Amino acid sequence: MSGAACRAGRSALAALFLAMLVVACAQGAIGSLDSGVGDASPGPDELSTDARTETRSDSGIDAGGKDAGRPDARPPDAAPVDAAPPDAAPPDAAPPPRLIGIGPEAVSVLELGGTAILSVALDNPAPPEGVIVSLRSLAPAILAVPTSVRVRPGDTAGAFRVRGDGLSAEPVGVTASLPSGDKTLLVGIVSSAGPPLVGDLIINEVFYDVPVSGGDANCDGTTSDDDDEFVEIVSRAKNPVRLDGLSLWDEAAWSSGAPRFTFPSGAVLGPGEAILVYGGPTGTTRTKPWCSGSDGKHVGDAVALSASSLGLSNSGDTVRLTLGSAKTSAVLETVSFAAGEDQSITRSPDMSGDFTVHGSAPGHAIDRKWTPGTLLSGANFSAASPD
């Protein structure tokens, strides 16, 4: 090979080597660049919270997953993030009342037909729809109870009647139930009633100033200044009490020494029960609201008895209830009152408060001026009774 040819060959080899070297360097630089980028940019899973937030914000999606450019990017059927479950109560709704008791404790009822009024108690007033409390007797053949009692809106207690249908040497349980829990009361079954003690019986209402018209308190269809007078007595005892021999007096009778009325043999009043004594016979005319349940023996929620006359003075009088028919008998209750106002006087609240004219008592029934055999509101002493 000539010298010129050798030089030309060497030049070609050098150029080829240089080209290969350039290519190799270029590839090495690209690899270094890729490696550097990978080290500096974390993958999606490695983003910090702030970084992810910024990334989403830059793309138009906020941290909560919503499109920042649209008010709501959720699927049409998706529930709001802060929506309450469909059955959840409003945040400011009061919790349902809980059952806190049934009473009174140590109460008893007379066997074979005796009755008593018990009550359930809630920790808060009943809502506008009221509260239904379920009831059951643990020995229904011995002690009958209603299936439930409704506590009226705004009230914290509901009264119900029980009846002794059988004999038992042991107390019988009565259970009251709400979804929040149960309460059980033991009710004694007794074979006889004893005499009342002072404080066991209370005069709850007296109607002595009968108006000229519209005063048919005894439900016989007519207004009578004497016959429509009445005295309502309620038992606050925990056991049944005998009434036979007890007597009612007004001031004139007290002066003469002869009572206006003496309870007959066999008369018994159960715990919480009421009894009426009228100045004359009761009837069955039901045109007046207080006469809706009158049957000649009952008015309202109470047994009704009749005297030949009560003789109460419209200008004011005093009524006494004594343990016997003599002035020397123990006085169980005394009520004095001034001139009447064509309406009754009543304790307010019932069975515990002072006397006031019916129309001035808070919560009084607005469609009547006397409430024989019922609470001053016109509601029965017992809201439920056994069948």
| Residues 137-174 pLDDT 10s | 999 999 999 999 999 999 999 999 999 999 999 999 99
Looking at CATH, the fold of the domain delimited by 201-360 is given as: Immunoglobulin-like (2.60.40)
Identical fold, 99-190 and 201-360: yes
Domain-wise residue ranges, the chain: 3-58, 99-190, 201-360
What pLDDT, on the 0 to 100 scale, is given for residue 49? 42
In terms of DSSP bridges, do strands 181-190 and 172-178 run parallel, antiparallel, or are they unpaired? Answer: antiparallel
Share of the chain above pLDDT 70, in %: 76
**What is the structure's pLDDT at 173?**
98
Residue 92 confidence (pLDDT): 66
Span 63-88, mean pLDDT? Answer: 49
Cβ–Cβ under 8 Å, residues 188 and 171: yes
Per-residue pLDDT tens over the stretch 195-234 = 999 999 999 999 999 999 999 999 999 999 999 999 999 9
CA gap 247, 269 in Å, rounded: 14
Is the CB of residue 273 less than 8 Å from the CB of residue 304? Answer: no
| Bond preceding residue 349 cis, omega within 30 of 0 | yes
Q: Which residues contact 314 (CB under 8 A, 6 or more apart)?
A: 208, 209, 225, 339, 340
Q: What is the 3-state secondary structure (H, E, C) of 128-175?
A: CCCEEEEEEECCCCCEECCCEEEECCCCCEEEEEEEECCCCCCCEEEE
Place of tokens 């019932």: 350
pLDDT computed for residue 87 by the predictor: 55
Which pLDDT does position 94 carry in this prediction? 79
CA pair distance 37, 40, nearest whole angstrom: 5
| pLDDT > 80? residue 3 | no
**Who's near 259: CB < 8 A, 6+ residues apart?**
247, 248, 249, 253, 322, 325
Which pTM was predicted?
Answer: 0.76
Q: What is the pLDDT of residue 292?
A: 87
Alpha-carbon distance of 133 to 122, in angstroms, equals: 10
The rounded distance, in Å, linking the Cα atoms of 219 and 228 is: 8
Q: Once rounded to an integer, what is the mean pLDDT over residues 239-255?
A: 98
What mean pLDDT comes out for the span 78-102?
A: 70
* Virtual torsion, Cα 213, 218, 221, 227, nearest 10 deg: -70
Nearest to 160 by CA among 180, 198, 187, 129: 187
Q: How far apart are CA 233 and CA 245, in angstroms?
A: 15
Nearest CA to 320 among 200, 194, 231? Answer: 231
Return the sign of the alpha-carbon dihedral for residues 249, 253, 254, 256.
negative
Q: Name which of 1-10, 61-70, 198-207, 246-255 the model is least confident about.
A: 61-70
Give residue 143's identity as a one-letter amino acid code. Answer: L
Tokens found for residue 235: 């038992």
CATH no., domain 99-190? 2.60.40.10
Pairing assessment for the beta strands 298-299 and 274-278 based on DSSP bridges: unpaired
Q: Six-digit token pair at 149? A: 């009692």
CA-closest candidate to residue 162, choices 150, 175, 181:
175
Decide if pLDDT at 383 tops 90: yes
User: Do residues 171 and 189 touch, judged by C-beta distance below 8 A?
Assistant: yes
Tokens 């993958």 found at = 43
Judge whether residue 307 has pLDDT over 80: yes
Q: How far is CA 139 from CA 33, 135, 172, 384, in A?
A: 92, 12, 6, 19
pLDDT reported for residue 83: 53
Please report the pLDDT score of residue 61 as a whole number. 40
